[in-house]
Structure 1
Amino acid sequence: MSLLNSTPTLCVVGHPNRGKSSVVATLTENDSVQISPESGTTRSADTFEFALNGKPLLRLIDTPGFQRARQVLDWLQRDSISPAERPERVRAFLNAPGHAERFADEVALLTPIVDGAGILYVVDGSQPPSPMDEAEMEILRWTGQPRLAIINPMEAGADVLTWQRTLGQFFQWVRVFNPLSATMPARQALLRAIGELTPGWSVPTRRLIEGLALRDRQRLTDTADALAAYWAEQLLEHQPVKFPGALGRQRAEAGLRETLEAREVEFFQALGHEWGHHQSELQRETAWELGDDALMNTETWYLWGLKQRDLLWVSGSAGAAAGLAVDAGLGGASLLTGAISGGVLGSVGGWLASRELDGKRLKGLPLTRQKQVMGPVRHPNFPLVVMARALTFTRQLWLRPHAQRSAVVLRAEAAQWSREDQIQLLSWAKRLQQHRWQAKHQDALVTWVGEQLQRSLEEAVLSEETESWVS
């Protein structure tokens, strides 16, 4: 195959269980690549493409690992030949009778290379170089194809310097790359190195990097819009009370809780599907079950929103900003009925909304002219909790490499919003629930969400990139 202005195509090779398939999954954003901690998971050469707008921009061939590198090198070196003759010598090895059966893995990984693919060699940086590694590297040098090596720091204490000195004798470029934690800057650094392997790949690789940047800018816009809509839906959700008395309220409350929790999972799954994380699952903390006496008075809960000492002040300021009275502060439990635990709510009560009949109440609960409903939830911490959780798992999923297959664990993280941001968010919540919402408010909310998400992503990338890659 010609390398001139073609789609960069590389064979990902190395010893078994060095993270080759993880590199393929992360670079192609494909979580269908089979990954296992056991050696020998990859038994054949499989091709995976990364495409934008339907156009392939990178092609990686996931290959089985070397099994008999020393024997292969002995065969190649048994006759004295010039360096220029070495690529043909490798081809002769592939065509020799019986080699397809005896050296099945080596034939599978070397065939696409002699046909024109470049080489992406992966080593485990936590293990020192061995004679077997040197044999593999020498075989790859004999092919004469463009070569780049990746040091995968699979465990703490990787000897990067020793590996760099060793690999530098066999490869054009050497990079440190952890496919389980690599953020976009790490991927871009590796792609730039690939583009420099051969002149014909510089233009396609530059287009790939530019396309990724454009894709992510559009993704940020789309995600901000979707997250703002999701937040509004959660704040407006309510369930009808179909039966009189406590039983009816309990069933409506359970329905409200289930709907809110299901919607959170659905939003997470929609993002995952859109971003190629089809196998990702959301794991939520479950230790938030509280009784009525502790309603909204727990540090675990407040980590998602405001501290108790700040909540009333911010809520009151938000009410004034919206031109509305504060309908529930820290002492607003009288407007909440029962405790709902787990998932989105953690521990919140349902609120019987709709229009009240003057002076008509039943067991302390407002009646309605048409029907009783459970929700929307009006505790002032609730809008902050919903937004904090959504921003948290959106950031986690955005930064998640496709080689990472563990569940996305949603843990409580203290919101870093300023008081002005908190007041603004609660003001929007009050306008929304009081049917005073306008298009300008929706636009402002989308802009705010986009800014929050972008800031969060930038901070995460800045803190992670020194650990996941070395340029």
Structure 2
Amino acid sequence: MSRCPQFCVVGHPNQGKSSIVSTLVENDSVRIGVESGTTEQAERFEFRMQNKVVLALTDTPGFQRARQVLAWLEQVAVAPADRPERIRAFLAEPQHQQQFPDECRLLEPIMAGSGILYVTDAANEVSRADEAEMEILRWTGQPRMALINPMSEQHNAAAWQATLSQFFQWVRVFNPMTASLPSRQALFKAMAELTPEWTADLTRLSQQLAARDQQRLLDVSLQLAEYWCRQVSRREPLLTLPPLLTDSPEVYLQQQLDQAELQLFQQLATQWGHGQAELQRDVNWELDHDQLMNTETWYLWGLQQKELLVVSGGAGMAAGAMLDMGLAGSTMMLGALTGGVLGTAGGWLASKQLPGKRLGWLPLSGKKSYVGPVKHPNFPLVVMARALTFTQLLWLRPHAERSRLALTAKASDWSRPEQVRLLQWAKQLQNDQWKSKQQQELADWISEGLQQRLKAVLQQEQQQSFL
């Protein structure tokens, strides 16, 4: 049984080695720190697809005394073909485990059959210590690639590229803090050409990642459609509210809606391997307050008053036109005109209802036995805009990125027909006119919109990738 492709990630301390491991194996538990020496031991991380290990990377401590190690290796003149054996002789010397512990930890898995990913940030001029590291790695005889990790704007990539190409089979620029699928696929393609032994496996891995993204798009579209429907139609029976409830029923509904949003984010983050991701639900809002229901700042996500007036009117006219069609035109388009007027008026009145401290805009049902659903026409737009935004951010987020996710998009970026359509669906849902057909249409609408947004970002990145 053949081994899966496995590589050791090596280089100077604090060059971004752990970040590269985290992004490539999609594991945000890999320790990353700005201080030197975060990685103290060689640690193996496996990337699994369909419960099978498809790639293994060993995160190693950096070189500490490369020039001394190279001096020991060169004490005896050996032919190029015998250099790997000279490396093994170095590892077999008992005192070297104490004298050169970091070099031993990184060379041992390499000599056990791992390929090499040598990482540099190219921030400084190439030094004699750098050249010693590269020469030692060349002596191993293992498949090897150099990665320039542009950790800062100040780098000497051209000089490093010229030097690295003398020691490594491939040299690539790879930023683990921004790399989404196209960049990783480009890197896997280059890694596949290092040795015929792993060509098929790494090519298959790239194909599996593309297929997984297609399936993920279908799955998350269904999830978001179900979530949106629950939020837009959510109501809480007054008779079953918590007995020790100290706030008003409206506040309780607000808390339930907020909690549902946070649960959706956490569910997606866990599914996609971002278990440590934190959601900063808006950079201008207090993090310890309920976020979704802050209607004073809904304009950040939905529509401002004038926009809401037009879109609500459009949704009303569309509903009236449907009535006209149902009556075979006998109303002489009276339904469309009436619907437009009612929709516009409803949108105007709702947009003026900025509640301040009270939440009276959370209407009770006719019999006043329920609180909810939220009838403000901006609410369906806000719920969808926020859900689509953190879904896109999670999708594109490399696993080495550890900053909080800050939501920034808004429904006003959508086309007018999209805005009207979403409000029409919300009306149908809240009026108990929702069918499986509409549910599928909503999921398809989400899938198409996400695909377009992701495609634009990924195409831009692909143009910058080394293919």
State the TM-score bracket (shorter-chain normalisation). 0.7 to 0.9
Give 1:444 deviation, angstroms. 0.2
Whichever structure has more helix as a proportion of its residues is: 2
Give 1:464 deviation, angstroms. 4.2
For residue 350 of structure 2, the aligned residue among 332, 338, 362 is 332
Structure 2 residue runs without a partner (length 5+): 287-292, 321-338
Give 1:287 deviation, angstroms. 4.2
Letter in 1 for 2:363: L
Distance 1:178 1:333 in 2: 45
Letter in 2 for 1:278: G
Distance 2:295 2:364 in 1: 23
Within a 5 Å distance, the mapping from 1:194-343 to structure 2 comes to: 194-241=191-238, 251-285=248-282, 287=284, 301-323=298-320, 325-326=342-343, 328-332=346-350, 338-339=355-356
Distance 1:438 1:413 in 2: 27
Give the aligned partner of residue 66 of structure 2.
Answer: 69
Distance 2:201 2:268 in 1: 28
Distance 2:208 2:177 in 1: 23
Within a 5 Å distance, the mapping from 1:186-201 to structure 2 comes to: 186-201=183-198
Within a 5 Å distance, the mapping from 1:437-456 to structure 2 comes to: 437-456=434-453
Letter in 1 for 2:33: S
Residues 151-191 of structure 1 deviation map (CA, whole Å, 9 limit, x = unaligned): 00001133222211111010000110011111110000000
CA contact (8 A) 2:15 2:120 kept: yes
Distance 1:401 1:62 in 2: 17
For residue 30 of structure 1, the aligned residue among 11, 27, 30 is 27
Whichever structure has more strand as a proportion of its residues is: 1
Structure 1 residue runs without a partner (length 5+): 290-294, 342-347, 356-367
CA contact (8 A) 1:123 1:151 kept: yes
Give 1:412 deviation, angstroms. 4.6
Say if 2:180 is the partner of 1:162: no
Distance 1:62 1:322 in 2: 60
Hey, which bits of structure 1, 4+ residues long, moved more than 4 A?
240-243, 286-289, 295-298, 464-467
TM-score normalised by the chain length of structure 2 = 0.88
Greater shift, 394-403 or 159-168, is seen at 159-168
For residue 389 of structure 2, the aligned residue among 389, 392, 416 is 392
Letter in 2 for 1:459: A
Residues 369-403 of structure 1 deviation map (CA, whole Å, 9 limit, x = unaligned): xx343321111111111111110000001111111
Aligned CA distance change for structure 1 residues 104 and 160 (closer, same or farther; 3 Å):
same
SS of alignment partner, residue 329 of structure 1: helix
For residue 361 of structure 2, the aligned residue among 346, 350, 373 is 350
Aligned CA distance change for structure 1 residues 54 and 422 (closer, same or farther; 3 Å):
same
CA contact (8 A) 2:121 2:150 kept: yes
For residue 45 of structure 2, the aligned residue among 21, 26, 48 is 48
Letter in 1 for 2:10: V
SS of alignment partner, residue 122 of structure 1: strand
CA contact (8 A) 1:235 1:429 kept: yes
**Percent sequence identity over matched residues?**
52
Say if 2:441 is the partner of 1:430: no
SS of alignment partner, residue 205 of structure 1: helix
Distance 1:423 1:75 in 2: 74
Give 1:250 deviation, angstroms. 5.9
Give 1:95 deviation, angstroms. 0.4
Within a 5 Å distance, the mapping from 1:356-395 to structure 2 comes to: 368=367, 371-395=368-392
Distance 2:129 2:319 in 1: 70
CA contact (8 A) 1:6 1:200 kept: no
For residue 461 of structure 1, the aligned residue among 455, 458, 461 is 458
TM-score normalised by the chain length of structure 1 = 0.87
Letter in 2 for 1:445: L
Give the aligned partner of residue 84 of structure 1.
Answer: 81
Give the aligned partner of residue 358 of structure 1.
Answer: none
Greater shift, 399-408 or 323-332, is seen at 323-332
CA contact (8 A) 2:148 2:171 kept: yes
Give 1:116 deviation, angstroms. 1.0
Greater shift, 124-133 or 212-221, is seen at 124-133
Distance 1:15 1:75 in 2: 20
CA contact (8 A) 1:319 1:430 kept: no
Letter in 1 for 2:84: P
Letter in 2 for 1:331: L
Distance 1:131 1:104 in 2: 21
SS of alignment partner, residue 6 of structure 1: coil
Give 1:459 deviation, angstroms. 1.7
Aligned CA distance change for structure 1 residues 261 and 286 (closer, same or farther; 3 Å):
farther
SS of alignment partner, residue 176 of structure 2: coil
Letter in 2 for 1:150: L
Matched residue count: 437
Give 1:284 deviation, angstroms. 1.7
Distance 2:443 2:255 in 1: 26
Letter in 2 for 1:450: S
Within a 5 Å distance, the mapping from 1:92-103 to structure 2 comes to: 92-103=89-100
Give the aligned partner of residue 336 of structure 2.
Answer: none
Give the aligned partner of residue 323 of structure 2.
Answer: none
Distance 2:272 2:362 in 1: 36
Give 1:81 deviation, angstroms. 1.3
CA contact (8 A) 1:18 1:122 kept: yes
Residues 93-114 of structure 1 deviation map (CA, whole Å, 9 limit, x = unaligned): 0001200111111111001111
Distance 2:308 2:65 in 1: 66
Letter in 2 for 1:330: W
Give the aligned partner of residue 126 of structure 1.
Answer: 123
For residue 19 of structure 1, the aligned residue among 16, 37, 55 is 16
